[in-house]
Amino acid sequence: MGPPVGLIMKTQYLKIEPDQADLIRKVAQCIEQGGIAAIPTETVYGLAARVRTDTLNRLDQVKQRPQEKRYTLHIGDKKDLLRYVPNPPAPARKLVNLAWPGPITIVFELNRANLENQEKKLGIEICQVLYQDSTIGIRCPDLPLCSEILKSTGISVVAPSANPSSHPPATTAQQAIDYFDGKIDLVIDGGKNVCSHKKSSAVVKFGATGIQVLREGVYSNEDIKRLTTVRILFVCTGNSCRSPIAEGLCQKILADKFGCTIDELSHFGYTIESAGLAAMEGLPASVEAEVVCREFGVSIEKHQSRQLIPHRLAESDFIFTMTSAHAKACSEMAGGLGERIKRLDQKGDISDPIGRGLPAYRNCAEQIQAALKERIDELI
C-alpha cells in the first residue's frame, strides 16, 4: 500500500513498451497493492488506482479534489462492460461496438434490481464507490499499453486525469512527474505515441430520460448522435400498408416503454422507418391502414412511401421484413448484412391485406403488434 500523501516518497519512473510484460506486471502489482501510477491513455495521463476506500482517499488528497466527486472505472477490454452493467441499452451497445476502445466515457443508469445484483457480485465497498446516484461511468481506453496494464491488474481500477484540481491534465510523463513527484508511486513513460488526442474523453449518459452528452471531447455532439442512433427499418412490397403499420406500432410500443412521446424517441436513440421493395415515392398509406392504426392509437397520416435502396439497408441496425421473400430480396440487395435482416414474425409471413377489407387489415395489425412485442427485448 502506498504511503499517505503527506509523506515524501520516491516516485519511480518507468519507460516501457506494450510488449514488456514483466514491467507491465510490475505496474499492475503496484496498483493491486494500493499504489497510484500515472499511466498514459490515448487522451491524457491518468492516475490509476484500485477501487478501495483507503486508496481512493489517498487519490483524493493527491488530486486535491473533494471526496464527493466521482471516479470513472477504466477497463482494458470492452467485453468487461457486462461485469458492471448487466443490461446496457441498445443505443449504448451500438456506441460500445463502434467507439470502444476509444476516447469516450459512458455513464450508465442502473435500476434497483440491477444494483442489488451488482452488490452481491462485486461487494458493497466497490459498489458504493462506483455506483453513485445509481449510475456508473466507464471508459475503455484505446492505447495498447494502457489496456495491457488494466487487463493485468485483475481488479477494478479508476484512472482520473493526472492533474491537481484546477490544473490542465498531464499529456506527457514529464508533466505527470512535475505534478506528482514524491506523491505517487509510479510514472509510466510510454513513448511518443501516447496521449495523441491531448484532450479529455467525451462523456455521454444513458438514463431514464434518454441520452445526454455531458461533455464534448474528442467526439462532438454530432458524432455521439450518429454513433448512438439505433435505426429500425420495416420492409414490405409497396410501403403502403404492412410496413407503415409496423413503423407506427413500433414507435408506439417503444414510446410507451420509455414513457415518452413518439416525437421524443430520438432522445432515447431511436429512428424508426419503413420502405418498400417496389414502392412508388411519396404516396400516402392506404386508407384502411390509416383507419386501423388509429384504432391502435397511432397516426400514420403523414406517411409517404419510399423505395428501398441499398444505402437504407446499410444504415439500418435492425431490418424486419414482412415475408421470407422480402428477407431474401433484402439480402440479395445488400449482401453481407447477415443477422440484421429478419422476418418480423418468427412464426410465419405477414400476408398483404390490400383489397381484402378492414378485417384483413386488423388481422394484419394484430399479427404485427404481437410479433413486435415478442421482439421488443432485441430492440432495447
Q: Which three cell numbers stand for residue 220?
A: 462532438
* Dihedrals phi, psi of 188, to nearest 5 degrees: -100, 120
Q: Which three cell numbers stand for residue 102?
A: 476509444
Q: Which residues pair with 47 in a beta bridge?
A: 38
Write out the catalytic residue numbers.
236, 242, 352
Count of CB atoms situated within 10 Å of the CB of 109? 17
User: Which residue type, as a one-letter code, is found at position 62?
Assistant: V
Q: How far apart are CA 188 and CA 104, in angstroms?
A: 22
Q: How far apart are CA 30 and CA 43, in angstroms?
A: 23
CB burial of residue 266 (10 Å; 0-12, 13-18, 19+): middle
Instruction: Specify the residue for cell string 441498445.
Output: 90
Reduce the DSSP state of residue 180 to 3 states and report it.
helix
Count of CB atoms situated within 10 Å of the CB of 110? 21
* CB distance 274 to 246 below 8 Å: yes
* Residues 6+ away with beta carbon under 8 Å from 174: none
